[in-house]
Amino acid sequence: MIELSHVTKRFGDEMAVDDVSFKVAKGEFCALVGTSGCGKSTTLRMINRLLEHSEGEILLDGQPIRDFDAVQLRRRIGYVIQSTGLFPHWTVARNIGLVPRLLKWPSTKVHSRVEQLMHLLGLPVGEFAHKFPHQLSGGQAQRVGVARALAADPDILLMDEPFGALDPITREKLQEELRALQSRLHKTIVFVTHDIDEALQLANHLVVMRAGRVVQQGTPLELLHHPADKFVESMLGGVERGLKQAGLTRVADHMLPLSPTLPAQSRVPSSMSLRQALSVMLRDHTERLTVVDPHDMPVGELSMRKLIREPKADQGHDREH
């Protein structure tokens, strides 16, 4: 779908992006991670040609993006930025309908599309359609930003730290919603963030950048298991890497059959992450947890002792990718 090969961007003498290559398959969620100034935003902005790359090739469905008209190309690609960039002089509805109107959709179609999107993003039409951006909270404004990006149903979505300016609770909620949205819409997403947890939560392909170069890329588990160097390791949380890893697997994957002995007092749902389950063990001072299904019926158990002795089975798993 999107392929960057040996892409370079120079501002004068300064090398902002240096020989960057990666591929994003259709329907994949790719996160560009790195500290600020590492060139991740620049890379993103080259994909919709807000910046032109200096060298290398950027392909969209196998075609160099320079073959497209830049304006037409951008109308096919959704774009969300941290400060929302909503037009302050337009209502929410008009902001969302921007790209369809640019594409000259008939107004009734624009109208129904706007309502559909507001519904999709949990913005009641009656309440929000005629509000102006300055009347919205940060979370609401960013929902409108996402709705605007999705308006013309683009296959590709570029997101530049979309949740960076939100408070932790709103951020988590919007991350959750984005994940749910992605599981329904299957867009191809390139997502820039400096928050490694956000990247691990949302993406299935990570590209870690530093000083304009790609340091390492792969699935979240690949990176957690085999960080390429000290930088990636510290980025991934150093010693807390184990917990982050645990955060990516479900209790169900490590569950043992119910043992005939007395079941443990503490119960956790099988859909919980292993990380949260470990936290419950620490809180309740117990080595064993009873795993329950959504109907609160015991289906298995989790044992700290067994967890530690688990073979590193998922390593072989990773290599299949």
Partner 1 sequence: MSLKDAMPVEKGRLSWFSPNWVLLLLSTIALGAFFGLETASVAPNRIVSGTGYLVFSALGWQGALLGMVLILALIGFSCIAECQEYRDAYKAMLVIVMALLALMPFALMVATSRLVDSDLPQARLGIGAGFWVTLFVLLLALVELRTRLALARIWSWSLLLPIGLLWWLCLSLWLEPLALMREYHSRSEQFSEAFRQHLELVGTAVGVSLMLGMGLALLMRRYPRSQKAAFAILNFLQTIPSLALFGLLLAPLAWLAANLPLAASLGISGIGWAPALVALVAYSLLPMVRNTFIALEEVSPAVIDAAYGMGMDTRQVFLQVRLPLALPVMLEGVRITTVQAIGLTTVAALIGAGGFGTFVFQGLGQAAMDMVLLGALPILLMASVADALLGAVSDFLRPGGAK
User: What SS3 string covers 283-307?
Assistant: HHCCCEEEEECCCCCEEEEEEHHHH
Q: How far is the CB of 164 from partner 1 (least distance, A)?
A: 12
Site for partner 1 in 91-110 (CB under 8 A): 91, 98-99, 102
Q: Does 259 engage in binding with partner 1 (CB under 8 A)?
A: no
Q: Does 140 engage in binding with partner 1 (CB under 8 A)?
A: no
Q: Which of 20, 33, 81, 196 binds partner 1 (CB under 8 A)?
A: 81
DSSP notation for 138-167: HHHHHHHHHHHHHTT--SEEEEESTTTTS-
Query: Which H or E run contains 72?
Result: helix 70-75
Strand partners, 129: none
Q: Does 129 engage in binding with partner 1 (CB under 8 A)?
A: no
Q: Does 230 engage in binding with partner 1 (CB under 8 A)?
A: no
> CA dist 202 to 83, 168, 220, 241, Å?
20, 15, 10, 17
Site for partner 1 in 141-200 (CB under 8 A): 145, 148-149, 158
Strand partners, 206: 31, 218
Q: Which of 6, 37, 87, 122 binds partner 1 (CB under 8 A)?
A: 87
Q: Does 231 engage in binding with partner 1 (CB under 8 A)?
A: no
How big is the site for partner 1, counted in residues (CB under 8 A)? Answer: 33
Q: Which of 48, 142, 217, 245 binds partner 1 (CB under 8 A)?
A: 48
Q: Does 297 engage in binding with partner 1 (CB under 8 A)?
A: no
Interior angle at CA 146, CA 142 and CA 151, nearest 5: 140
> CA dist 155 to 2, 64, 158, 163, 178, Å?
11, 17, 10, 21, 15
Q: Does 205 engage in binding with partner 1 (CB under 8 A)?
A: no
Site for partner 1 in 50-79 (CB under 8 A): 50, 71-77, 79
Q: Does 86 engage in binding with partner 1 (CB under 8 A)?
A: yes
- Residues found near partner 1 in the complex (CB under 8 A): 48, 50, 71-77, 79, 81-91, 98-99, 102, 131-135, 145, 148-149, 158
